[in-house]
Amino acid sequence: MSYLGVNDYPIIYIISNFSLESVYSSEIEQSGWFSYDNLPQMTSPGTRRRLDEYFTKSPIAESW
């Protein structure tokens, strides 16, 4: 899927124990921790749909 002219691959991980280490990557503009109800403005529509499926328990779409 393409969003703003780049490939968009939404992936959601559910984790309970982690450590955070920042590493620079020219492919990733921004990373961070955000609450579901306070996502960055530039979050892609596909990512928002995947999060909606998880948090609202809505049916998983067969087509993105």
Helix (H) or strand (E) holding 2: strand 2-3
CB 38 within 8 A of CB 32: no
- pTM for this entry: 0.58
Q: pLDDT tens, 8-59?
A: 677 777 788 888 788 888 888 777 888 899 998 888 888 898 899 989 988 8
What is 6-38 written as a DSSP string? Answer: EE--------SS--------TT-S------TTS
What pairs with residue 3 in β-bridges?
6
